[in-house]
Copies of this chain bind each other. A is one copy, B any other.
Amino acid sequence: MTWVTDDNAALLTDLYELTMAASYHAQDMNEPATFDLFVRALPEHRNFLIACGLEEALDYLERFNFDDEGIGYLSSLGSFSDSFLSRLGELTFSGEVRAIAEGEAVFAEEPILSVTAPLIEAQIVESFLLNCITFQTMIASKAARVAISCKGRSFVDFSLRRDHGADAGVKAARAAFVGGAAATSNVLAGAFYGIPVNGTMAHSYVMAHEDEEHAFRTFMKDCPQGTVLIIDTFDVEEGARRAARVAHELAPQGIELRGVRIDSGDLANLTRSVRKILDEADLEQTKIILSGDLDEYQIERLIADQVPVDSFGVGTQLGTSGDQPALGGVYKLVADARGPKMKLSTGKGTLPGRKQVFRVSRNGTLDHDVIGLEDEVADGRPLLDCVMKGGRRTSPPDDLTSVRERCSKSLEALPERLLALNTNGGGYEVTTSPGLKDLIDRFGSHTPPMGSS
């Protein structure tokens, strides 16, 4: 079967990375170069991003190598010299990585990751790093929006079945947890990352039984821990009454109905009816969980309408970042042995030089960021930390729960206007430092690539 693993991940790159590397090899061009990975502009409707994916990126870099099978395949293409192929066979990643921590809020043009390594290494890892960081950052950012819309209620990642493949399944669950999901339905993600796993029941279970009430009774007896019954297989209100009857019947056995789930229909009105049915049956403690292609916009509306919902299952829209399914991450050469570099393509310029991002807060709330040069002295908290040196991590991986807490604190520190689901309040100010401005001027660009973000 065709799985990406440590053994073949180095080959998960675009052919041109290897073609360019072959030329660098032929030219003996392998001085250290610095590439910044950043997002040119925030996607529509986004006021911020949540950095995510760094741990996987570092895992990849630490284990980076081409195995014999990979070299054999490259050789079969007939376009690489033996000298280059044997060089590749010995290649590891020996460089330095500076990065913004996972869970931290980031904005356009800010390097999420900055790689300094011999040119050949730095070039070949581009495709994987972009794939890994931009996808996970996109999902963590989406999850943070869902968390904001939930206003303290919990939500669970239900996205596995609509995620883009197997790896996206586990990575989306991880990124969703970082962004604020309480749990995931994805068992493997639970096993990999220690994320709480959570689940209810499907319509098929109800349909596999004689009738709904029989299905409810059996499920509650067999799975008595925190049972949630799905009540929309036939008729939601009838389902709620049946669930209530079974709950009363089984209460003497100590089995409690934790919740009911509604997955279709007019969720607002059905939730109100079901709440009434449950309350009238003295089941005030029984929660109502909503699902069914929900996103942060619908959740915001349900809560604004005071729908008595307790929590949400969010799938497709979370795991695919449905309204913005791609993040325009780029990985650009900003410095090499001859100094800072700057690309001037129309609309696709880059900020030159090795940088630092300084975050300036006032009274615990973010005020603005300054993108400056690495060695500049400036106010504010520097966000880019050295996380890898000589191809090895400088410290053990962050605990995922602490990453999640970092994200939660990041969101708390955002100015109120950035917590809206729209961008009407105006963006966040990101400026360039005097040192960076001077450097840009030296490249003779009259239109620096960045306005305010």
Contact = CB atoms under 8 A, between A and B. Distances in A.
Interface residues of A, number: 111
A244 B1 CA distance: 45
Nearest to A9: B166
B197 A77 contact: yes
18 contacts: A2-B192, A12-B166, A15-B187, A18-B187, A19-B199, A20-B202, A27-B218, A79-B225, A130-B161, A134-B162, A164-B164, A165-B168, A165-B171, A203-B332, A208-B341, A263-B348, A264-B348, A320-B326
A27 B222 contact: yes
A228 to B, nearest CB: 9
A23 B346 CA distance: 61
Interface in A193-229: 193, 197-205, 207-208, 218-219, 222-223, 225
Interface in A1-54: 1-6, 8-9, 11-20, 22-24, 26-27, 29, 33, 35
A332 to B, nearest CB: 7
A395 B249 CA distance: 52
A163 interface: yes
Interface in A330-344: 332-333, 336, 341, 343-344
A425 interface: no
Interface in A102-129: 119, 123, 126-128
- Which 4 pairs, one residue from A and one from B, show the smallest C-beta to C-beta distance? A15-B199, A16-B199, A325-B325, A164-B164
A160 interface: yes
A132 B200 CA distance: 22
Copies of this chain in the oligomer:
2
A125 B200 CA distance: 17
A12 B9 CA distance: 20
Given A223-B19, A265-B345, A346-B265, A12 B169 contact: yes
B23 A329 contact: no
Contacts of A126: 161, 202, 204
Contacts of A326: 162, 316-317, 320, 322
Given A4-B3, A164-B163, A343-B233, A187 B20 contact: no
A14 B161 contact: yes
A429 interface: no
Nearest to A12: B188
A163 B15 contact: no
A315 to B, nearest CB: 9
Contacts of A22: 222-223
Given A26-B222, A169-B131, A187 B11 contact: yes
A91 interface: no
A135 interface: yes
Contact of A15 (B59, B132, B169, B198): B198
Contacts of A233: 343-345
Contacts of A328: 293, 316
Interface in A392-439: none
Contact of A170 (B2, B17, B232): B2
A23 B265 CA distance: 27
A166 B164 contact: no
Which of A2, A130, A134, A263 has most B Cβ within 10 Å?
A: A2
A347 interface: yes
Contacts of A193: 2
A93 interface: no
A421 to B, nearest CB: 19
Most chain B CB atoms below 10 A, which of A5, A9, A70, A199 = A199
